[in-house]
A = this chain, B = another copy of it.
Amino acid sequence: MTDSEASLKQQITELGDKIRQLKVDKAAKDVIDQEVAVLKQLKAKLAVATGEPLPASGGKSKKATQFTLKTPKGTRDFNDKEMAVREAMFDTIKGVFRKHGGVTIDTPVFELKEILSGKYGEDSKLIYDLEDQGGEKCSLRYDLTVPFSRFLAMNSTLYQNIKRYHIGKVYRRDQPAMTKGRMREFYQCDFDIAGAHEPMVPDAEIVRIAVEVLTALDVGDFIIKINHRKVLDGMFAVCGVPEDKIRPISSAVDKMDKLPWEEVRKEMVDEKGLDPAAADRIGRYICLSGGEDLLNRLLQDEQLKANASAMAGLQDMQLFFRYAKVFKIADWVSFDLSLARGLDYYTGVIYEAVLVDSEENKNILAQEMPGQAKAPQDADESQVRLGSIAAGGRYDELVGMFAGSNRKGKSNNIPCVGVSVGVERVFSILMRKQKYEEIKANQTEVYVIAVGDGLLDERMAIAVELWENGIKAEYMFKAKPKLQPQFTACDRDLIPLSVIIGKDELAKGVVKIKDMQNKNADEAGGVEVPYTEMVAELKRRLGH
């Protein structure tokens, strides 16, 4: 099977899945019909390519011994160029984390099933379980926060406080949504500060870290929406939301970035049975956003002033704004009463970084995802939306859920605050911002080239000399390569310099050093250098 056949087959499988999902979701008929037409075209293309009739349903072969060569649904490979971009991204992020004293830990990819139970609400159905092959029941981790909390609870005598980051894969058995780039295996990239500290200082530093990371990654202009669970809870209370409806109403508010207010209001009143007057009161609050001015207005709000939870939250926000100014991040921060965040475990400040609706940002997102070896899932990713690129908040009770369950009476809780950078989203933005062919996957600095007689052993010996001097070097694995393919290899792999040898050079004890990025310069044939000075000259040019 050729690459394009494999790609076609995978596209067909994926599109089949999408259509089935559209039917389940009762999508409009013309939407489904359009997808079916694309599916038929893909099938016809594949039939031409392979010369064999296609099985009726996408992807499944009739022969029992055959199978489609693909990665599991919702997962993908990353090729060398994509990985170069990803590793540079991770290095940038780690650099910021370490600047703030961050250390890293590692936890297993799967946990005991019971560790994850009861942590994710109704999303628990998305947890991947391992087959029961005798022994413990295990599940793939759903995020990095619960394993971190489990680690803290197990090691609480040693880690009463820690600034830890963790970059690792997590798993969600979600319906992969191609248009949203939602995968079943994806990276999370978390920084958390655990410990009982001065109120709001770690919270503000976490937001500063988010600003530094997103600035260093150069993802485009962004703001950080910020809110507080206690402000939210107080606001709901003064608006007349009964205690038992606070979480469902909060979930509805969380949709304000995707749905218009009328729809959110409808969900509150029609689906969740909220008094329409209460909904309208909520509506007047959650349209508010701004800076310290908004905070001061709310501090004057007679109703909120009478609510202890709201006032506690607003006082935290006062502290937050004070530290945000010291940390020089106030310009990025927007106090936004519509920000609710879905996760139940947040107890204090919550925030979300979003790209601003600028022309520049929209232009980048409108571009196609580059890369020949891109996964078919990316086919629709050009529709990627403006949206969240980092998010987090304070969760003061999660460690206690583990630590508490094993101590009688004496709680061993550790309060935490953290941020998760949306690295998959950032990656898709970074890929759009550069030319695919200009991504250098390798780090090779010098290619050792022979003119004429091959000189394999001599090229290998020069490579050894370079490696031993810390220079990254390659040569062609061929006894008698022609000159042109060696130049082509330099071009393809974006290798800046070459060392060229021939019989004459060997006889004279010299090599030629050639700038491969600047082939038409005066030194087009390369500059002759004594062999004994080769390493020094290369290092000089490479800036070692």
Interface residues, chain A, with chain B CB atoms under 8 Å away: 1-6, 65-67, 69-73, 75-80, 83-84, 86-87, 98-112, 114-115, 128-133, 135-136, 138, 140, 150-151, 153-159, 162-164, 169, 173, 185, 193, 195, 197-198, 201-202, 208, 212, 322-323, 326-328, 372-373, 402-403, 405-407, 412, 441-444, 456-457, 460-461, 464, 467, 470-474, 477-479, 493
Copies, count: 2
Contact of B101 with A3 in the complex, beta carbons under 8 Å: no
Chain B residues, Cβ within 8 Å of A109: 109, 169, 185
Contact of A6 with B129 in the complex, beta carbons under 8 Å: no
Contact of A98 with B154 in the complex, beta carbons under 8 Å: no
Chain B residues, Cβ within 8 Å of A407: 1
Contact of B108 with A84 in the complex, beta carbons under 8 Å: no
Can you give 9 contacting A-B residue pairs, CB < 8 Å?
Answer: A69-B150, A72-B110, A77-B155, A83-B105, A98-B442, A102-B442, A103-B442, A110-B185, A326-B460
With CB as the reference atom, state the residue of chain B lying closest to A204: B460
Contact of B327 with A464 in the complex, beta carbons under 8 Å: yes
Contact of A477 with B201 in the complex, beta carbons under 8 Å: yes
Q: Which 4 A-B pairs have the closest CB atoms?
A: A1-B406, A197-B477, A75-B108, A80-B103
Contact of A75 with B6 in the complex, beta carbons under 8 Å: no
Which one, B72, B99, B461, B464, contacts A108 given CB within 8 A?
A: B72
Contact of B78 with A105 in the complex, beta carbons under 8 Å: yes
Which one, B69, B72, B153, contacts A69 given CB within 8 A?
A: B153
Contact of B80 with A328 in the complex, beta carbons under 8 Å: no
| Distance, CA A155 to CA B110, complexed state (A) | 30
Whether A2 contacts B157 in the complex (CB less than 8 A), given A80-B105, A135-B73, A478-B197, comes out as: yes
Whether A132 contacts B131 in the complex (CB less than 8 A), given A79-B105, A108-B185, comes out as: yes
| Distance, CA A478 to CA B201, complexed state (A) | 8
Given A77-B151, A77-B154, A202-B477, 10 extra CB contacts under 8 A: A6-B154, A67-B114, A69-B150, A69-B402, A72-B110, A80-B105, A83-B105, A198-B456, A198-B477, A198-B479
With CB as the reference atom, state the residue of chain B lying closest to A460: B326
| Distance, CA A163 to CA B83, complexed state (A) | 14
